[in-house]
Structure 1
Amino acid sequence: MIQEDFIFYKPCRELQPYVRYYWVFKSNQPLNTLTFPIGCPQIIFHKQTPLYIPELGISQSEFTVSGQVNYHSHLYANGNVEMIVVVFQPYTLKAFLNLPISLLHNQEVSGYDLENKHLKQLAAQILNCENTNLCITIIEQWLLSQIADALTSKTAYNIQRITAAIKQLFAMPATPVTELASVACLGKKQFERMFNELVGANPKEYARIVRFQKSLKLLQHCSEDANQAQLAYQCGYADQSHFIREFKQFSGYTPLSLLNVCKPYSDLFNNPT
């Protein structure tokens, strides 16, 4: 019998500034799906078959930490998939891992390699727990216990600075780095260093991901005869050719050809919960 479930969970109120949502996927069918840069780091628990990523030539660990990526990829599995994923705000994973997120850039890292005993204990609990709702509760309890320490450190203050810059970037993806630094009340070099440490990509690269995700959001409601020049302008691209070139780099398709392959969806500009 074919079984496939996709469920989203909303984080508790205390964690909403740090965690966007959790999602759970279960399937007994072969999986072959295209994925794009979403602009948010993730922690992934595979309770059955981990996913294979041919572009990297690797399978994810049963316990994976995924940093910011700037490429599209395929995800494969032969069946028997059961995964629980924590999707963080773009700038908050450092508060829980206590390491520069720039180290995870374009990486699918095994959580067992991070030398974080508390994180490994969490993985052991989740991978041995058969109740999905209880798994989410365990994850939330762990996150709350970790954030208590982070809130007393300078990390919390730095997060506030970068949060302000990210909000500006979401509103106007073409905002210059010097202006973003001013919003964060930092010098340009200091801002770039802090941004990279918290977000896991430099400001210019992350702005490209934001523009791409914003274009996906607009394409969700467009037809094949959409005005690409207008889409380019709305998303902060210099011109239509710039839009098409960068879109193809991140997705493997031109904006309109993607409409024939799948239904565009923006992970960054939608809240599935």
Structure 2
Amino acid sequence: MQTYRIIQPTPALKPFIRYYWILQDRSSGIVTQRTLPTGCMSLVFHRGDRLKVTSRNEFQPHSFICGQESGYSDVTSTGDIEMIVVVFQPHAAKTIFRMSAALLRDRNVAVADIENTALRDLAHKVEDSKNHDTCIELIEDYLYKCLTYGVSYHLPRLAEVVRHINNSTQTNIKTFANIACLSEKQFSRVFSEHIGTTPKDFLRVVRMQRTLSVLQHNPGIGFARLSYECGYTDQSHMIKEFKLFSGCTPKEYLARYTPVSDYFNF
């Protein structure tokens, strides 16, 4: 039996946290799931058996920071899964962890390997807590304490850039730099430090997530119209990009999976 729950953060944390999700899966047998880049970093706590990353033939750490991802991965569950995941706003993780988000790209960094006593203590408390609501309270208390050390003055300008990206399919780095009131060189550096990937690669991930969202809400749409609505130059460009991030063409993906956008749904 599987249960999946989305929890919204308190209003004061909403500029930093998109949502929390909790997954419990008591299914018997081996279950494999393909995960795609979401455009957001996350903090993951395993309270049950850990997921196995098939491509690397290794288990995820018990608790870890998941950096920005540039490609798909397949994960396998073989036991009782119980996960609590904090999904950050794209630009907010650096403010919480006090390190360049670019250092975490394509990495699952174990909390045990980070010199952050408070975060390690949180991981132990979440693992030992009796119920999920208490876990969320502990996580939010930790996040509030992180914010007492101050917020990057770049955060509002990056939030505005991300808002523009979310609302526009046709844009460029020059426009982003103007919104952020920075030179293009400064903007690219600040963007990578806070968001964990380059502006160009982030745009590509968001465009792929937009494609999933359109397919999710308009399943009968033709691929030519889909590519136009999502900002690709043409249909072949969309197919090439989609395959890069998902491992299969849109047609192949629809035959195997139900399209769901983790970025635009919440």
TM-score of the pair, normalised by structure 1: 0.94
Which residue is 1:141 aligned to?
141
Post-superposition shift, 1:15? 0.4
Post-superposition shift, 1:133? 0.8
Post-superposition shift, 1:150? 2.4
**Is 1:217 matched with 2:208?**
no
Matches of residues 1-273 of structure 1 in structure 2 within 5 Å? 3-29=1-27, 30-151=30-151, 155=152, 157-223=153-219, 226-271=221-266
Question: Structure 1 counterpart of 2:4, which letter?
Answer: F
Post-superposition shift, 1:249? 0.8
For 2:147 and 2:232, the matched residues in 1 are separated by: 37
For 2:217 and 2:184, the matched residues in 1 are separated by: 37
Per-residue displacement from partner, 1:199-250 (whole Å, max 9, x unpaired)? 0000000000010000000000233x53212111111111111000000111
For 1:209 and 1:100, the matched residues in 2 are separated by: 20
TM-score of the pair, normalised by structure 2: 0.96
For 1:256 and 1:221, the matched residues in 2 are separated by: 16
Post-superposition shift, 1:147? 1.2
For 1:106 and 1:158, the matched residues in 2 are separated by: 23
For 2:5 and 2:31, the matched residues in 1 are separated by: 17
Gaps of 5+ in 2: none
For 2:39 and 2:61, the matched residues in 1 are separated by: 21
Gaps of 5+ in 1: none
For 1:184 and 1:103, the matched residues in 2 are separated by: 22
Question: Structure 1 counterpart of 2:261, which letter?
Answer: S
Contact 1:165/1:183 (8 A) holds in 2: yes
Per-residue displacement from partner, 1:16-52 (whole Å, max 9, x unpaired)? 1110100111112243111110110000000111111
For 1:173 and 1:148, the matched residues in 2 are separated by: 36
For 2:133 and 2:70, the matched residues in 1 are separated by: 32
SS at match of 2:210: helix
Post-superposition shift, 1:132? 0.9
Contact 1:96/1:150 (8 A) holds in 2: no
Contact 1:4/1:27 (8 A) holds in 2: yes
For 2:217 and 2:84, the matched residues in 1 are separated by: 29
Q: How large is the RMSD of aligned CA atoms in angstroms? A: 1.1
SS at match of 1:34: strand
For 2:25 and 2:39, the matched residues in 1 are separated by: 25
